[in-house]
Structure 1
Amino acid sequence: MTSHPTPDRATAVAAATVFTGPAAPYAGGDPYADHRAPDPAALPFTRLPDLADRRLGGSVTAASDEFFAERENLLNPGPARFDPAAFGHRGKVMDGWETRRRRGVHPDHPHPTADEHDWALIRLGVPGLLHGLVVDTAHFRGNHPHAVRIEGTRVPGTPGPETLFAPATAWTELVPRTEVGGHAAHAFPLPGAALGRFTHLRLSQYPDGGIARLRAHGEPLADLDWLAALGTFDLVALAHGGLVEDASDRFYSPPIHTILPGRPRTMDEGWETRRRRDAGHDWLRYRLAAEGVVRAVEIDTGCYRGNAPGWAELALWNAENGTGGGGGGGLVGGGLVGGAPAEAAVAGPGEWRLALPRTRLLPDTVHRFVLPEDTPPATHARLDVFPDGGVARLRLHGSPTEAGWRRLRERQNPTGAPAS
């Protein structure tokens, strides 16, 4: 069962994709030299986390066909790779999901019918509100699909394909059947909260072909029953609904790395700033999963041995009662997605309550701090590092307040969104 978008929204979604037709054959050199993609500045939603990220637990749980290239490649972090000399027993080795060529059933009708297609089921690593999708056909120059369609659903637990394809499972059409081109990234903005919370996606390609990457950008909304069972958890973790709203620097790596699961294995899995040659310092601003009381802090400089910050301090702000002020604005178009001045996170005496005074940091170390019992509730946190350097992870362990739990329940089912 599938619900469809309004004609106006369907037209707007289709208009967001401007790349059609095959790309030119690979001519050598940089394979991305002729890759077609929208201007990132026109796609503010791409600054939100990819909720399908494999590092968060995202998975392609099933697909109709994966003869030439495995479905799991769709969610690999980073851009798709291309080796012009790599061939295997099934043909060209491609970093994406590629199906065999469909055929008709009779010599007089050698082509597939208009509605025949391949599909893949994606479980989001963290459920959430979707603000935009990206379908990238990088390196699929003459073997990309003619069109794609994307639907979403919300099903609790870890359902298998038999449950997701059951007649009782309701699917919402997010991207109507839309023509796409080869070797190009296609962006589809979505209205976020207006569509409600999603747990799974269904990607269909007509009639067959190859897709390198699928990205599902949005706000994470974790399972409330799970969070309630935990009671005390990391309030800033992406897996629990935390977000990076803004940062002073993104030169070497994105700040969202600091709230990913686990510890870093290499230096590029954290957040590192460029070397400062002025009297300033670097900072990160976070939105917590809910209003809560932070009881313990972990600052991890793992893998940063010659480039860890010298010192750090942590400040908290409560947006619910006006204690402090963070500047910034909304998620899309505000502080998180460009548009808030850098000074918004550091200016204004008294805007933030200092929770952890300036403290010495060591290289490649997990630093743990217990906060005072009278630490007030907060909705936002700011980590300042002096003067610059790399932070691998930040953990803010605590519990939501009653108001925080109430707000979480409201965000799970926004007004006007389909019921879960």
Structure 2
Amino acid sequence: GSKTAGVIAANDEFFAERENLLKPTPAVFDPEHFGHKGKIMDGWETRRRRGADGDHPFPADDEHDWALIRLAAPGVIRGVIVDTAHFRGNYPQQITVEATALPGSPGPEELLADGVKWEELVPRTPVRGHAANGFAVTVERRFTHLRLKQHPDGGIARLRVHGEVVPDPEWLDALGTLDLVSVLHGGTVEDASDRFYSSPTQLIRPDLSRKMDDGWENRRRRVRGTNDWVRFRLAAQGEIRAVEIDTAYLKGNSAGWAALSGCNGDPSDEAGWFEILPKTRLQPDTPHRFRLPAAVTATHVRLDVFPDGGLARLRLHGELTAAGREALGSRFTALGG
């Protein structure tokens, strides 16, 4: 769940609101938490559906509850987690996950219109209660929205959708200068020395850090001569002109120094790496901005921190090269964009 994702509609949220599905924190359970409508759960929970005769709890087989989700960024989906944490006697029997790709900013009416083609990512499948139900997805297409169905009714605590961002190259053209490493534009973490406190992917989120655990913090190093690092793949080959390293909210645990190196091609070729920013002293809880003396062409960067410590955000401002733009365009087209 990112700040830009959203649950834009649901047919029923009698007991608990649909927005809870995307809360970034794990679901919690408060046994004393009741409201006017009954038990309040940390998730999305619908009322009980009933059969027509009243003697049988099951409604007609095709009846279900649904929620529509806008992805934080369009892309290829690799995996979905339907987490029913704390739903023990009130989780759905089965779920279905479908996806579609629509341009612009469609509302519920456009998404539910007759002509919209939904593709099944997870067919109707039983789920377990109080469990993180994981599903691998193999559909190689770019999607913008999901529809989560629960058969026939019940509660789901959290929805997590993992995959690769596939931006619209024409939108990036319109931006001109852009953050080449931003997750919103298709930048990714390829490897990292440490993920102890938080994911290094938070370094390349498009928003500003709001608190200490919003960035990347590693454990304390106890071995001399070693340091922590993260390697990123840029959205595509680009020319980097300026670097931002932010240590917001990290005060007694920010990195003391940082260095940035890059490569243009194969990251496994050690000889191909070059210095972008030399080892530079950092201040705690401070944004740092560096204009490069000349534009640097790269496909990957490696951020080293010395000896350890946290960072809030990394931004690499620049432009796509002609080859980078062409590669993005080809991928966009191949995935149905």
Q: Same-fold call, TM > 0.5? A: yes
**Contact 1:290–1:407, Cα closer than 8 Å, also in 2:** yes
Mapped contact 1:197–1:413 kept (Cα < 8 A): no
1:221 aligns with 2:166: yes
Instruction: Note closer, same or farther for the CA distance 1:263–1:174 as it changes in structure 2 (3 Å cut).
Output: same
Note the residue ranges of structure 1 that are not aligned, 5 or more in a row: 1-52, 320-324, 328-346
Provide the rounded CA distance (Å) in 1 between the counterparts of 2:256 and 2:166. 34
Q: Which of residues 336, 354, 363 in structure 1 aligns to 2:284?
A: 363
User: Are 2:221 and 1:276 equivalent residues in the alignment?
Assistant: yes
**Cα deviation per residue 1:21-78 (whole Å; 9 max; x = unaligned)?**
xxxxxxxxxxxxxxxxxxxxxxxxxxxxxxxx232x1000000100000000011102
How many Å apart are 1:262 and its aligned residue? Answer: 2.3
Q: 2:64 maps to what in 1?
A: 117
Closer, same or farther: CA 116–374 of 1 in aligned 2, 3 Å: closer
For residue 401 of structure 1, what is the amino acid of its counterpart? T
Pairwise mapping of residues 111-150 of structure 1 onto structure 2 (< 5 A)?
Answer: 111-150=58-97
Q: 1:297 aligns with which of 243, 254, 266?
A: 243
Asked if the contact 2:96–2:123 (Cα under 8 Å) also holds between the matched residues in 1, the reply is yes
Question: 312, 317, 320: which one pairs with 1:392?
Answer: 312
Q: Percent identity?
A: 60
How far off is 1:110 after superposition?
5.5
Partner of 1:43: none
Aligned match of 1:238: 183
Which ranges of structure 2 fall in alignment gaps of 5 or more residues?
none
Find the counterpart in structure 1 of residue 233 from structure 2: 287
Higher strand share: 2
Query: Residue 312 of structure 1 corresponds to which residue in structure 2?
Result: 258
Is 1:380 matched up with 2:300? yes
Q: Separation in 1 of the partners of 2:55 and 2:288?
A: 71
> 1:46-65 alignment to 2 at 5 Å?
53-55=1-3, 57-65=4-12
List aligned pairs for 1:181-192, cutoff 5 A: 181-191=128-138
User: Hey, what's the Cα distance between the residues in 2 that align with 1:171 and 1:314?
Assistant: 43
Could you tell me how far apart the structure 2 residues matched to 1:94 and 1:300 are? 36
- Aligned to 2:249, what secondary structure does the other structure show? coil
The answer to whether 1:72 aligns with 2:72 is no
Distance 2:95 2:316 in 1: 40
Instruction: Indicate conservation of the 8 Å contact 1:117/1:204, yes or no.
Output: yes
Once the 2 structures are TM-superposed, how far is the Cα of residue 374 of structure 1 from its aligned partner?
A: 4.6
Question: Aligned match of 1:95 in 34, 42, 49?
Answer: 42
**Cα shift readout 1:122-151 (whole Å, capped 9, x = no counterpart):** 000111111111101111101000100010
Listed one character per residue, the Cα deviations across residues 194-244 of structure 1 (whole Å, up to 9, x for unaligned) are 521000000000000000111110011123232111011101111111111
Report the Cα distance in structure 1 between the residues aligned to 2:201 and 2:306, rounded to whole angstroms.
19
Matching residue's letter, 1:127: P
Q: In the alignment, which residue of structure 2 is the partner of 1:198?
A: 143
The alignment of Structure 1 onto Structure 2 pairs a total of residues equal to 336
Residues 363-405 of structure 1 deviation map (CA, whole Å, 9 limit, x = unaligned): 1111100112252x21111111111111110000010011111
Q: Tell me, in whole angstroms, the C-alpha distance in 1 between the residues paired with 2:23 and 2:167.
A: 22
CA contact (8 A) 1:196 1:413 kept: no
What is the alpha-carbon distance in structure 1 between the residues aligned to residue 277 and residue 333 of structure 2?
Answer: 35
Q: Distance in 2 between matches of 1:180 and 1:390?
A: 38
2:48 and 2:56 map into 1 onto residues whose CA distance is 15
CA displacement 1:250-269 (0-9 Å, x = unmatched): 11111111011222221111
Contact 1:196 1:412 in 2 (8 A): no
Q: CA deviation at 1:275?
A: 1.3
1:25 matched residue in structure 2: none
Q: Take 1:120 and 1:239, find their aligned partners in 2: how far apart are those partners?
A: 23
TM-score between both structures, scaled by the size of structure 2: 0.96
When the two chains are superposed, the root-mean-square deviation of aligned CA atoms in Å is 1.4
